[in-house]
Structure 1
Amino acid sequence: MAETGNFAKAARQLGVTRSVISHRIQQLEQFIQAPLFHRSSRHVRLSEVGETYYQDCVEMLAGFERLTENMRNLRAKPQGRLRIQVTSAFAIDYLGYLLAEFMQLYPGIELEVVVQDRIVDLIQEGFDVALQFFPALVDTLVERQLFRVRRIFCASPGYLRNHAAPCHPGDLLRHTIGLYDGYPSRYQFVFRRGDERLEINLPGQVRSSSVHLLRDFALGGAGIVCLPSLVAGKELLAGRLVPVLGDYVVGTFAFRAVYPTTQRGSLKVRKLIEFLAERLAQMPHWEGDDSFAPLGEALSAGGVEPAWRPA
């Protein structure tokens, strides 16, 4: 009406009847308790109040359009800080390379990566996403599994030259054992071989929150350790570590991205998880049933010639 100066023209533009336009204006005038138009038999023009009201509405609509456009740009180009918590088992040797590629794809995102293995309240501590072994334990968190993690008992060749290799899981009780204390099942292990199933609680003379410390402990020839294959893989392929109890299967865990439900609509969180899921599906299958060959091929391509293959 303010632009057309005519009830009939305004009705045609909006696709409604003239009476609807007239009724809506009357309702608005009653609401603000002031006339918006001066009416005569020939003309309809804005009153002083109507002019002020019209200009404020125009500015408000323009601001809303700018806000909408900004939101569309944000949806198209994720940006802002992305705070990630990640377990050291995946952070070391792997995540940095992936994040380098991710940043090239999305330069508007700023990354803050905290490497730690403890379980934290993601919402309270302000994390957007966690990359971890542990499942989402509360309803305020959701998760997406990225890959399976296989655990391997292994030791250095030097240790096994001086100590008889275990043939049965119970034999581990006679060895010096190093265990990671961050697994969901802690020190309880289930060994399977065919129809045989054995559940055993290992005391672990060395317990650590760092799987890399345990790897180095084993490389020093001090005992047998249980490591995820993504940490032990290079050493196994090079022959610096040797698997024991290879005919037994130890329970696996899912490595997952966990994030608060409030982040479901976050474009930067979604882009990160989709990126990791795609890249990890293409990465070597550390968790193969009986071989490290896929990982070996990738390492060989990078100049590392594996000296050992599992039987």
Structure 2
Amino acid sequence: MRVFVTVEEEGGFAAASRKLDISPAAVTRAIVALEEQLGVKLIQRTTRNIRLTDAGHQYYEDSKAILASISEANEAVSGSNTEPHGTLSVTASVLFGRLYVMPSIIDYMQKYAKVKVIAHFVDRVTNLVEEGIDVAIRIGELPDSSLRAIKVGQVRRVLCASPAYLEKHGVPEQPDDLPAHAIISANAISPKVEWGFGAAKTSKKIRMEPRLIVSSNDAALAAAIGGLGITRLLSYQVKSEVERGALALILEDYEESPWPIHVVHREDKLGSLKVRAFIDGIANHLRNHPNLK
């Protein structure tokens, strides 16, 4: 099983033999024996490359999980898991990661000198299993999955604009007023956007054509501060700008229900100490943060 996983991850039999420090013939024998034992073809071989069959893809994912569980169980029993060590992979959105996750990472790394951390701060939903990520901080409702999640806070989706823009163009009194205003949209796929208002059972959607479409929340924030129009962001993204008077919140009475924040992970009770220690630390940090209540 370990040989099979290494062949796929290294992209070939020769590379797997170098990685495992065994002969190419031993790699071939292991794969042939595995396929004969299972009674199914796992790898399609050509003179230039390899390709997993459908059964091979499924067996690869299951094998990775099994090998990880064996490693974790061995560590827990042998006592080598008494101090966090190894590499920890964490992901969050760009701005949330910088503002709220990095302080926990810094604290964690100062406590545990044997752990290396890789932080993926990207404004997209990562696949923990496929991308080998240990912990993710997610904002919004979670889809059903086998992943474990701990709720640690919540944020609101808010509308805001600069005081200068509102003084010049007026303050919208209700969502129906928005199409008459300059709208700044972040991460829009189409030239039109649709914003929802109110709780789920009484929600109302307003369709608008933005004046500006940008690919990042930071750009939308800068445009709103510059007086270009009204944008919709998460409360933590605009909190400091609202507090210093660069932005003003509008239509607060029409906001949607708050979005939950979860720490998402794949670990179980036998999980590595490095992951459990980080989860405990960041969950405590986020639960006690005044901006996320």
Would the TM-score normalized by the shorter structure come out above 0.5? yes
Paired residue total: 217
Asked whether 1:225 is paired with 2:231, we answer yes
Distance, in Å, in 1 between the alignment partners of 2:292 and 2:265 is 25
Is the alpha carbon distance of 1:153 and 1:237 closer, same or farther for their aligned partners in structure 2, counting shifts above 3 Å? same
Larger Rg: 1
Task: Write the distance in 2 (CA, Å) between the matches of 1:273 and 1:207.
Answer: 36
**Offset at residue 206 of structure 1 (A):** 3.2
CA offset at residue 73 of structure 1? 3.9
- 1:116 is aligned to 122
1:272/1:117 Cα in 2 relative to 1: closer, same or farther (>3 Å)?
same
- TM-score computed with the length of structure 2 as normaliser: 0.65
Provide Cα deviations, 1:210-247, integer angstroms capped at 9, x if missing partner.
22221111111111111111110000000010111123
| Structure 1 residue 263 displacement after superposition | 9.0
Which whole-Å CA distance do the structure 2 matches of 1:270 and 1:247 have between them?
39
Say whether 1:142 aligns with 2:136: no
Question: How does 1:263-278 map onto structure 2 within 5 Å?
Answer: 265-278=271-284
Gaps of 5+ in 2: 1-72
CA deviations 1:134-153 (Å, max 9, x no partner) are 55435342222221111110
1:245 maps to which residue?
251
Q: Do 2:75 and 2:81's aligned partners in 1 also have CA atoms closer than 8 Å? A: no
> What residue ranges of structure 1 are gaps of 5+ in the alignment?
1-66, 288-311
Root-mean-square deviation over aligned CA pairs: 2.9
**Aligned: 1:106 with 2:89:** no
* Cα displacement string for residues 69-124 of structure 1 (whole angstroms, at most 9, x for unaligned residues): 88554432111101112101311233222211121222222100011111232211
Partner residue in 1 for 2:95: 89
The residue identity in structure 2 corresponding to 1:108 is K
Question: Helix, strand or coil for the counterpart of 1:254?
Answer: strand
Question: CA 1:235–1:200 in structure 2 vs 1: closer, same or farther (change >3 Å)?
Answer: same
Residue 158 of structure 1: CA displacement? 1.3
1:259 aligns with 2:265: yes
Alignment CA distance shift 1:237-1:286 (3 Å): farther
For 1:92 and 1:266, locate their aligned partners in 2 and report how far apart those are by CA, in whole Å: 25
The answer to whether the 8 A contact 2:149-2:262 is kept is yes
CA positional deviation for 1:190: 3.3
- Structure-2 residue corresponding to 1:167: 173
Q: Pick 1 or 2: higher relative contact order, CA cutoff 8 A, min separation 6.
A: 2
Shift of 1:276: 1.2
